[in-house]
């Protein structure tokens, strides 16, 4: 089982985080930047911000919010709401977000998915699907406008289409369960996950530790999103991860210090002209994937993003692994060798590590015991 992610969701209206049921009866619950930092501190893997103001004036506000959040937290975050054009996507990504979430705009203009994936990479394009069970109980339709408009589009058919168009991830919300704290919609999630080749984030209905466990134990999702549980302090991200670890569900337990001076003081940068050889290993299989080089700048970016960044000796520039290919490396552990001049990154590799599309750069066998 792959490592599962825990993602707090922050619905933002007029610069404040709000929460209601099916986007109705909204109550203000806090400042988005402060809450983002708190969830980062608790160990969240990612964050999702959904701007539900939906006005032209809100566009500048959400861009400013992205800049403030990016300066404060060092994990990936996604922004959705009011994103209707390629320029909107560009604006949000340039403001500091790692991904954008497309919902009703993708329904009205599916080519926005393919255009966005082509320009920015599939890893930046999340398609949010709000699903509601049909009255006939024989499946689910895609709904928009907070569930008030039924598009008549079958959810499973839409999932197939967005994958063909180049979506990199699905944020799947059950409007039947949203805000009710009665558990994730496992039949819906399982049906989608069975036909999806891209990660699925479960959303809508989480109300207890057991609900997090159930969605992962049933292999119904790759990540679980919750809002009010975290906003009102009923659970912390750390408590969820401790519980999942106890129940045998793999999660990333990352504690990154704010001050890198302690790490830098242990590294001998002088031996390699400021570069530290970095061995990269698959966290689960322990297979060696590649050899790269880190410097102080690349390590700072690795710390901030939770994604491997290196220094390219051939190009003489920093290199965020996967930035152009989508083959990211999520950091689990960083280890230092006994001579203090080599690092070991333990990572989750997205598809291939090698530029040849091989999973490992070490695919050429030169010698094996028993060879003559």
214 plus 293 within the same structural domain = no
Cβ–Cβ contacts within 10 Å for residue 186, how many? Answer: 20
How far apart are the C-alpha atoms of 42 and 238, rounded to whole Å? 6
**11 catalytic residue (yes or no):** yes
Reported pTM? 0.69
The single residue of 88, 130, 185, 222 carrying the catalytic annotation is 130
Residue 343, in any domain of the structure: yes
Q: What is the pLDDT of residue 55?
A: 46
How far apart are the C-alpha atoms of 312 and 102, rounded to whole Å? 34
Q: Is the pLDDT of residue 144 over 80?
A: yes
Final residue belonging to a domain, choices 189, 217, 246: 246
Final residue belonging to a domain, choices 189, 221, 246: 246
**282 catalytic residue (yes or no):** no
Cα angle 285, 289, 292; round to 5: 140
Q: What is the pLDDT of residue 279?
A: 98
Q: What is the pLDDT of residues 31-54, one digit of tens each?
A: 899 999 999 988 999 999 998 775
59 plus 142 within the same structural domain = yes
Residue 371 banded pLDDT, cuts 50, 70, 90: low
Do residues 215 and 202 touch, judged by C-beta distance below 8 A? yes
How far apart are the C-alpha atoms of 333 and 353, rounded to whole Å? 17
52 plus 161 within the same structural domain = yes
Residue 161, in any domain of the structure: yes
Final residue belonging to a domain, choices 246, 270, 292: 246
* Number of folded domains that form the chain: 2
234 plus 272 within the same structural domain = no
Averaged pLDDT, 259-264 = 67
Q: What is the pLDDT of residues 294-307, one digit of tens each?
A: 999 999 898 877 88
304 plus 172 within the same structural domain = no
208 plus 308 within the same structural domain = no
Averaged pLDDT, 250-259 = 67
311 plus 288 within the same structural domain = yes
Percent of the chain with pLDDT over 70: 92
The range of the structural domain enclosing residue 308 comes to 261-349
211 plus 322 within the same structural domain = no
Averaged pLDDT, 168-186 = 95
């Amino acid at each position: 089982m792959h490592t599962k992610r825990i993602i707090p969701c922050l619905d933002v209206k007029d610069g404040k985080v709000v929460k209601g049921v099916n986007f109705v009866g909204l109550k203000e619950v806090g400042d988005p930047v402060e809450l983002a930092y708190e969830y980062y501190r608790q160990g969240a893997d990612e964050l999702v911000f959904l701007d539900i103001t939906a006005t032209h004036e809100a566009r500048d506000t959400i861009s400013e919010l992205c800049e403030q959040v990016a300066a404060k937290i060092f994990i990936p975050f996604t922004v959705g709401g009011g994103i209707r054009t390629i320029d909107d996507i560009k604006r949000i990504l340039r403001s500091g977000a790692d991904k954008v979430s497309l919902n009703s705009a993708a329904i009205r203009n599916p080519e926005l998915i393919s255009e966005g994936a082509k320009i920015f990479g599939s890893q930046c394009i999340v398609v949010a699907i709000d699903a509601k069970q049909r009255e006939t109980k024989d499946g689910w339709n895609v709904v928009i406008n907070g569930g008030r408009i039924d598009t008549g589009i079958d959810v499973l058919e839409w999932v197939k289409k967005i994958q063909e168009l180049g979506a990199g991830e699905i944020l799947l919300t059950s409007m039947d369960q949203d805000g009710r704290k009665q558990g994730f919609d496992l039949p819906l999630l399982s049906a989608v996950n069975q036909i999806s080749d891209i990660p699925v984030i479960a959303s809508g209905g989480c109300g207890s530790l057991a609900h997090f466990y159930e969605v992962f134990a049933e292999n119904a999702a790759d990540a679980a999103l919750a809002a009010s549980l975290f906003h009102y302090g009923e659970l912390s991200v750390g408590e969820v991860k401790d519980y999942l670890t106890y129940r045998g569900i793999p999660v990333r337990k990352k504690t990154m210090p704010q001050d890198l001076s302690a790490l830098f003081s242990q590294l001998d940068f002088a031996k390699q002209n400021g570069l530290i050889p970095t061995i990269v290993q698959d966290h689960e299989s322990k297979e060696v994937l590649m050899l790269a080089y880190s410097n102080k700048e690349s390590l700072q970016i690795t710390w901030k993003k939770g994604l491997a960044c290196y220094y390219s000796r051939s190009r003489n520039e920093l290199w965020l692994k996967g930035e152009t290919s989508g083959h990211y490396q999520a950091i689990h552990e960083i280890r230092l060798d006994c001579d203090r001049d080599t690092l070991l990154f333990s990572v989750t590799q997205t598809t291939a590590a090698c530029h040849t599309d091989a999973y490992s750069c070490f695919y050429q066998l030169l010698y094996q015991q028993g060879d003559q």
